[in-house]
Amino acid sequence: MPDLKFTVRTNFDAAGLSGRDTTTYVKPDRKRVEESRRLVQQLWIGGPVASLRPPRLATITRCDLGRVFELNLDDREYTVKPIPKPLSAEEQKARAEELKSRVVQGGLQLQRPAQPNLLIEVSTKDTGERKQMFGYTARHVITAEKRTPLEGAVSVPQEQVTDGWYIDLDTSISCEPPGQAGALRFALLGGGRNGKIDYPTVKFVGQRETGFALATTRRDALFLPDGSRSERPPVSTIQVTNLSTAPLPTDLFDVPNGFREVRDFRRRPVMPWWGRALVSLHSIWLGFERALGRPFRRLPSRG
């Protein structure tokens, strides 16, 4: 397996204001993933929007050392922990059974229905289209996940369609824990509304796509009571902006000199100074309004 480097840009909105950029470096038995996020937050309801600055993070996995190093690149701090061991077949079965019997969310124990009350159909279709991307032959695949509530379900009928281009490229390393079973991600369907969750049954149609995604666009749609379909703007897009197999330096997978080991480090974003100032001024303004018992009104102009 040659050395590998690729950068992925993920947008969570159509304008690209919120998202994540990750650059991954892979050598045999070691991996480094650098991440920088883009976040926006409305300062108050109806107020201006500020861009937040989360710290740049990196994760280094070293199979030869049996360790995972997490770094805050801005504050020059890091933590270290052993590589998680994959669950045995018995442990996976026990965890699945626990998820089926109960879900704890926000301290509230939620019981699942006795019978499945939500049908999830995951349909995968290879369009047959092919094109060259980064020297690989990419295939065009469309995956649709349709959720149909049955009797007693709290979810609403909806569909999620992912339109993507995929290649056969293994980016894993030997000590990387395998992904969780796909069905487990449906455990909290319904969001615990009214103390209830949905118990899904999943049906797969077509051969599931397991390749490396070079570009995807995900769109959501809700089905209204009259049977019509309400499309939403793209929820997220993923685009690989570069992919290289050039040799990588070995020290890229070491903790840089000058970094301080800590038990935990800052992960939350920092609001710019002008955003904090505006929030403070807005709070003062609201305090004046409450003191007067009514909001300020602009005086009518004379003449």
More confident residue, 43 or 173: 173
Cα distance between residue 171 and residue 53, in whole Å: 29
Please report where in the chains the tokens 């070293």 appear, as a residue. 62
Q: How many domains does the chain have?
A: 1
More reliable by pLDDT, 141 or 233: 141
> Would you say residue 298 lies in a domain?
no
Is the residue at 72 inside a domain?
yes
Whether 297 is in a domain gets the answer: no
Tell the residue number behind the tokens 């609201």, with chain if given: 286
Picking from 159, 161, 133, the residue whose alpha carbon sits closest to that of residue 147 is 159
**Predicted model pTM:** 0.77
Name the burial class of residue 165, with classes exposed (0-12), middle (13-18) and buried (19+) by CB atoms within 10 angstroms of its CB: buried
Instruction: Provide the residue type at 122 as one letter.
Output: V
pLDDT band per the 50, 70, 90 thresholds, residue 182: very low
Q: Looking at the domain assignment, is residue 303 inside a domain?
A: no
Contacts of 69 (CB under 8 A, 6+ apart): 59, 60, 61, 62, 78, 79, 80, 255
Dump pLDDT digits (tens) for 50-93.
777 889 999 999 999 999 999 999 999 999 999 987 777 787 77
Confidence of residue 94 (pLDDT cuts 50, 70, 90): confident
- Give a yes or no: residue 259 inside a domain: yes
Is residue 152 included in any domain, yes or no? yes
Residue 148 lies in a domain: yes
Radius of gyration of the chain (CA): 24
Q: Report the C-alpha dihedral over residues 40, 185, 71, 244, rounded to 10 degrees.
A: -90
